[in-house]
């Protein structure tokens, strides 16, 4: 698992870094005012905040040093079971939009392909395990999935 995670990030990091090194000059000063850059950047930082704050909520669930799993509460967890994955998806979709590049798009697609099935499995597990699990909560995309 760890080796696969390292490989995944090496490939994505290499493709995106190589692209920027080769074609970075297409992003001139005008790109900073382009709606794709502005919207993608807003999406990226929104996702970053959701991802970090949701990981923090999960981390605090183990503050009592008990190893088991609990129902996460607060923040985007009120809407989805895997708020940290939702934030991660927003980040890389934002990156794809702000760079408007094929490597950016592939990173976003791999992230979706990786995290959506995991979120659905986590969500199904929560619902099986906790009879009082919030019924309106979705797996990863608020109100949709
Ligand atoms: N870009 C990508 O494709 C990608 C892929 C994978 C991960 N990531 C990111 O890496 C980070 C970690 O991912 P992950 O898959 O390890 O996340 P995760 O399954 O949500 O677990 C994160 C941590 O929270 C604990 N935890 C989760 N649910 C809990 C609950 N209900 N009660 C108590 N503790 C709970 C887990 O404990 P246990 O270890 O005991 O389960 C683990 O220590 C996330 O920010 C994710 O977005 C990104």
Residue boundaries of the structural domains of the chain: 2-129
pTM (2 d.p.) = 0.95
**Ligand 1: residue whose CA is nearest its atom 40:** 67
Phi, psi for residue 17 in degrees, rounded to 5? -65, -45
Residue list, ligand 1 pocket, CB within 6 Å: 51, 55, 58, 61-62, 69-70, 72, 84-85, 88, 111, 114-115
pLDDT for position 67: 86
Q: Convert the pLDDT of each residue in 76-134 to its tens digit.
A: 999 999 999 999 999 999 999 999 999 999 999 999 999 999 999 999 999 999 999 99
Q: Which residue from 4, 9, 58, 106 has its CB within 8 A of the most atoms of ligand 1, so it is best to mutate?
A: 58
Q: Please give the structure tokens belonging to residue 40.
A: 């993608």
Q: How far apart are CA 44 and CA 37, in angstroms?
A: 10
- In sequence order, the β-bridge partners of residue 138 are 80
């Amino acid at each position: 698992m760890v080796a696969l995670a390292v490989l995944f990030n090496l490939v994505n990091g290499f493709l995106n870094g190589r692209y920027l090194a080769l074609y970075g000059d297409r992003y001139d000063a005008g790109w900073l005012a382009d709606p794709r850059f502005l919207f993608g950047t807003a999406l990226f930082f929104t996702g970053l905040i959701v991802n970090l704050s949701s990981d923090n909520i999960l981390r605090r669930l183990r503050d009592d040093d008990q190893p088991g799993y609990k129902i996460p509460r607060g923040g985007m967890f009120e809407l989805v079971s895997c708020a940290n994955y939702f934030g991660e998806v927003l980040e890389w979709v934002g990156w794809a939009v702000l760079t408007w590049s094929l490597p950016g798009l592939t990173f976003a697609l791999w992230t979706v392909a990786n995290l959506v099935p995991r979120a659905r499995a986590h969500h199904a597990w929560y619902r099986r395990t906790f009879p009082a699990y919030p019924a309106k909560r979705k797996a990863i995309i608020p109100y949709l999935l």
